[in-house]
Chains A and B, each alone.
Chain A
């Protein structure tokens, strides 16, 4: 990876009580690319994102975003760094007492000085991009899981962030809904060109979106490779992961 690295995790460790969740994470996120973090459930994948976002402080190690250590910067600098972020949380984290429209409009109202007319134009444009026009007045509780994720994505994209984090974007959705999310994702990334970090275990489908795949195993990043190299890796842990999630088909390619 000789491209521009914008996020770097160096030997990040984190324990909760006596359980060490992250045991020395080393990971680099390249600008303009999609990095996928995979691994079994409960390995701490979401924790990596939370560390990058500055929501959780590591016990030791460094999390560098644009060269700045995120948990050592001032509150003002942290806020400035976060203006580059867009986050789609696992459960979408929509504000449940606000309508879809207000949810998507919130970052514009709070972070910009745009007029309500301009906000309305941007919000309807983003909702159209997600194919959810006409749901403006609904509340999150009235939406299906897939729609909620799309509203979450619209809200994450509304300020045209440079880096977007997706925490399990398709968990709990059926195949058709997952495909819809992937379609929306590809379309928006092609149009907006953001850097993205995806945490998912929807393997192998999600591989199509990724430029790099990192496997989190036993609290550490096993390796970060292109999807092709990942699938053909000799590393026994990666090989086992590929075989378990994708079947022996992929591993047999090595033998040919």
Chain B
């Protein structure tokens, strides 16, 4: 590139005349450098060197706890509605059933005829005895007439005293026979009466067990009737719950959607081996629109005397060896969290009744314990103060 060089050489000679050139050069270079520096400093939307990021202090809500001396535990039990008077009734005799006058589910009133046995045999006996009665009545009349005649004869000394005694006793015999027959007749009539079943109380026929024409034995149940005037609920309860109830107390019961007030009338005295419960009987109000056999639910509350405090389950955090802990803030504002071990006496899934290393009015972390560790610095605020 010798050509260029010589050209430049000639230019150098003339350049000495332009003395201002170094400053122009310096000026240009300086401008260029500064421009570059400024460009660099303004790049990236001015993301300057960041100040050290802060230590994030988590906000936390706390609530003061209050100890109580007892707590209420709900207990739900289910039982059945029964009738106070529910019985299986039948004939006192055996025989063939002639008539059944009511069907299943029929309403009955006290004294109503329900069923009749076949009384043909009894009627035959009745006819037999009635005929016998007529016979004996005739004998009594004869004896009476005979006695009157003989008394007349004896008074006119026409007959012996012996004859008088004979006819008197004959009259007695005939009268005694009449009494006997009458009594036999009454017996058969009683049997006829007992071949009918009468309703003993108002109520319903639960079940008719026998059809007309069947031959039944003594005491075989024909009907199951239940009184609908007095219903009761039999609810099995564990003894520890049952003993908290007093006789005569009213309890809220529910059958389906209907709510009732039942009054405790009796408690069973023997514990059922399988279900470990006692039966509690609640008498239901008379106009309750329930059926025998309906399922009745009782929502009872059992008060247990034990000191503790209620906290929401979300305030519990895990501890070692299966124990629970809660986190406690020493004060509101900036504070450190402490971990205290507690024991859960009872929980229903949403709230827990606890006792443990806590004092009344200490501030317990309400929720979100999975965010925190004991010893962490937080900003605590009272729950009610939430904006």
Bound together = no
